[in-house]
């Protein structure tokens, strides 16, 4: 027994060494070996160590060691009188230890001030276990601090305590500040009572609370919520429109409901596609499949090439009716948008799908307009844009392409000039022959040799 005591005394001495390397090494070994209670106490004290390396080693040992009393010694270091770095380390340890840390945290709640209570309750919510629900409600009923109350609402939502829905509802009208957080909590809990409460209160609330309500209905809403939001599209604006579109998409997918494609829906989708953040734009793009409308197509053109998920959803708009889409794409290309390459790739993909038969659906004016759009891009700074333009122009209107041969031959990318040569192999035309002879003197050896081979084959 005396020997063990001396060993423990020596271990404590190492943890208190003046050399941070020794302190760090002494702390590190407790990640995997039995930890006596005295060592747990000393390690917790080292969360205040001035050396970052020592604190990191201490943190890992206190997270990984299975000694059950570790949280009891760590939780006091969540106090608001300590440096924020110490509090964060203590919080990380407790969070990583999870459910096993809850008893120590619950016991500490009454020891600290309001800031301490909020910090612990936030952690309990992140752990997500139901066991501290009663204690959180107890704090909620007693506190006069708004931040503590908000932390309680959020934690009850995070732990999905459906037994506390009535408790949350009872606080709803006590403070305007509480309403959005309570609604978010009800949305996470997701009971039928919570859905009905949100629908009941929606009409009389301000925009901030309505936004939280709509977002929550995206998680827990039912068919009644879906049709309520469809009716709201006529009246909502801005961020409420975006949230409504996102929630309608979620509820449509969840319940297999039909989205009405009327003017209010169209305008809401357009507003979301134009102004919203990316997550809402993705939802709006998923809802456009039934619209064949100039504004919708133009908005989709502006978005195309900027997000893979949006592209996937809006591409069908262009594939389904090329005769409608191509004129809009041509006009848009002439504006030289930044994402011109992606649009040219789209045109190429549409044409390849049916071997160009879709081009036969265009009238003469739209056909010429599309060719003009490609010719304008022949001097684009991007070599890939120029290559797509060369290929597309030769495919849809070879006569116009031959007119622009000098521009193509002057392309400063030799791969593009080589591509022109490959295309000209299929043309028995004096202008094509002259271009081949010119490229037979190209400064790039690969282009020159290929052109000279063609000159020889054609006896030019």
**In terms of pLDDT, which residue wins out, 332 or 243?**
243
pLDDT per position as a tens digit, 321-362: 788 888 888 988 888 888 899 999 999 998 888 888 888 888
Of the candidates 113, 137, 111, which has an alpha carbon nearest to the alpha carbon of residue 124? 137
Per-residue model confidence (pLDDT) at position 290: 65
| pLDDT > 70 in the chain, percent | 98
pLDDT > 80? residue 2: no
- Residue 21: the pLDDT is 94
pLDDT of res. 304: 87
- DSSP class of residue 50 equals S
- Between CA 424 and CA 404 the distance in angstroms is 13
Q: Structure tokens of 422? A: 């490959």
- Asked if pLDDT for residue 4 goes beyond 50, the answer is no
Give the per-residue pLDDT at 1.
Answer: 29
Cβ proximity of 95 and 123 under 8 Å: yes
Which pLDDT band holds residue 254 (cuts at 50, 70, 90)? very high
Closest CA to 261 of 299, 240, 290, 223: 290
Diameter over CA atoms, the chain: 106
Alpha carbons 373 and 445: distance in angstroms, whole number? 32
Mean pLDDT of the chain: 90
Evaluate whether 47 touches 17 at the Cβ level (below 8 Å): no
Dist. CA 31–CA 348, nearest whole Å? 59
Taking the CA of residue 408 as centre, how many other CA atoms within 13 Å lie in the half-sphere pointing to its CB?
32
Cα pseudo-dihedral 388, 391, 397, 403, rounded to 10 = 90
- Kindly calculate the radius of gyration of the chain based on its CA atoms and give it in whole angstroms: 34
CA angle centred on 204, ends 201 and 209, rounded to 5°:
70
185-224 pLDDT, tens digit per residue, is 998 888 888 888 999 999 999 898 899 999 999 988 999 9
DSSP state of 412: S
* CB-neighbour burial class of residue 245 (10 A; exposed 0-12, middle 13-18, buried 19+): buried
Mean pLDDT of 314-323: 82
Nearest to 145 by CA among 123, 177, 169, 170: 177
What does the DSSP 8-state code read for residue 30?
Answer: G
Nearest-angstrom CA–CA distance, 56 and 96? 14
* Contact criterion met (CB below 8 Å) for 348 and 392: yes
- Judged against a pLDDT cut of 70, whether residue 131 lies above it is answered with yes
> What tokens were used for 164?
């506390």
Would you place residue 6 in the very low, low, confident or very high pLDDT band (cuts 50, 70, 90)?
Answer: very low
In angstroms, rounded to a whole number, what is the distance separating the alpha carbons of residues 269 and 276? Answer: 10
Q: Look at residues 240, 238, 248 and name the one whose alpha carbon lies nearest to residue 217.
A: 248
pLDDT, tens digit, 9 for 90 and up, residues 75-116: 999 998 888 999 999 999 999 999 999 999 999 999 989 999
Residue 293 has pLDDT above 80, yes or no: no
The mean pLDDT of 226-245, rounded to a whole number, is: 95
pLDDT band at 435 (very low <50, low <70, confident <90, very high): very high
> How many Cα atoms occupy the beta-carbon half-sphere of 365 within 13 Å?
2
Distances (CA, A) of 242 to 106, 200, 232, 238, 252: 40, 21, 12, 7, 15
Copy the structure tokens of residue 211.
């936004």
- pLDDT category, 445, cuts 50, 70, 90? very high
Give the highest mean pLDDT range of 37-41, 329-333, 356-360, 426-430. 37-41
The percent of residues above 90 in pLDDT, for the chain, comes to: 65
Q: How many CB atoms lie within 10 A of CB 365?
A: 9
Residue 63 clears pLDDT 90, i.e. is over it: yes
Sequential DSSP letters for 227-273: HHHHHHTTT--HHHHHHHHHHHHHHHHHHTPPPP-SHHHHHHHHHHH
Contact 151, 132 (CB under 8 A): no
Tokens 């265009």 correspond to what residue?
Answer: 362
Residue 231 pLDDT class (50, 70, 90 cuts) = very high
**Neighbour count for residue 19 (Cβ, 10 Å):** 10
């Amino acid at each position: 027994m005396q020997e063990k005591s001396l060993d423990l005394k020596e271990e404590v001495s190492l943890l208190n060494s003046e050399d941070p390397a020794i302190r760090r090494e002494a702390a590190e070994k407790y990640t995997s070996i039995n930890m006596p209670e005295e060592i747990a106490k000393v390690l917790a004290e080292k969360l205040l160590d001035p050396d970052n390396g020592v604190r990191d080693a201490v943190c890992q040992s206190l997270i990984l060691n299975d000694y059950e009393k570790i949280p009891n010694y760590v939780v006091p270091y969540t106090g608001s009188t300590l440096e924020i770095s110490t509090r964060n380390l203590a919080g990380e340890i407790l969070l990583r230890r999870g459910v096993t840390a809850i008893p120590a945290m619950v016991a500490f709640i009454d020891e600290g001030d309001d800031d301490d209570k909020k910090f612990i309750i936030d952690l309990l919510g992140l752990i997500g276990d139901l066991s501290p629900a009663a204690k959180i409600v107890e704090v909620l009923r007693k506190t006069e601090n708004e931040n503590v109350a908000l932390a309680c609402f959020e934690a009850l939502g995070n732990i999905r305590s459906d037994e506390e829905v009535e408790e949350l509802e009872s606080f709803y009208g006590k403070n305007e500040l509480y309403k959005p957080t309570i609604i978010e909590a009800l949305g996470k809990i997701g009971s039928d009572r919570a859905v009905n409460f949100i629908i009941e209160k929606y009409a009389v609330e301000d925009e901030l609370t309505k936004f939280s309500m709509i977002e929550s209905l995206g998680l827990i809403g039912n068919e009644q919520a879906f049709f309520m939001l469809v009716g709201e599209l006529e009246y909502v604006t801005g961020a409420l429109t975006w949230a409504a579109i996102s929630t309608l998409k979620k509820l449509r997918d969840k319940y297999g409901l039909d989205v009405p494609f009327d003017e209010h829906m169209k305008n809401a989708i357009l507003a979301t596609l134009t102004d919203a953040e990316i997550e809402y734009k993705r939802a709006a793009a998923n809802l456009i499949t039934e619209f064949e409308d100039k504004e919708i197509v133009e908005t989709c053109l502006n978005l195309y090439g900027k997000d893979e998920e949006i592209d996937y959803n809006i591409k069908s708009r262009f594939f389904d009716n090329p005769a409608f889409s191509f004129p809009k794409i041509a006009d848009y290309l002439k504006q030289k948008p930044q994402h011109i390459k992606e649009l040219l790739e789209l045109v190429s993909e549409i044409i390849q799908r049916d071997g160009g038969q879709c081009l036969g659906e265009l009238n003469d004016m739209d056909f010429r307009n599309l060719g003009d759009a490609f010719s304008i891009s022949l001097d684009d700074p991007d070599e890939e844009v120029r290559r797509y333009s060369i290929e597309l122009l030769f495919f849809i209107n070879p006569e116009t392409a031959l007119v622009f041969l000098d521009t193509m031959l002057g392309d400063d990318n030799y791969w593009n000039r080589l591509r022109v040569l490959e295309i000209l192999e299929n043309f028995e035309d004096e202008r094509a022959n002259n271009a081949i002879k010119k490229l037979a003197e190209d400064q790039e050896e690969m282009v020159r040799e290929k052109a000279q081979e063609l000159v020889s084959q054609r006896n030019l």
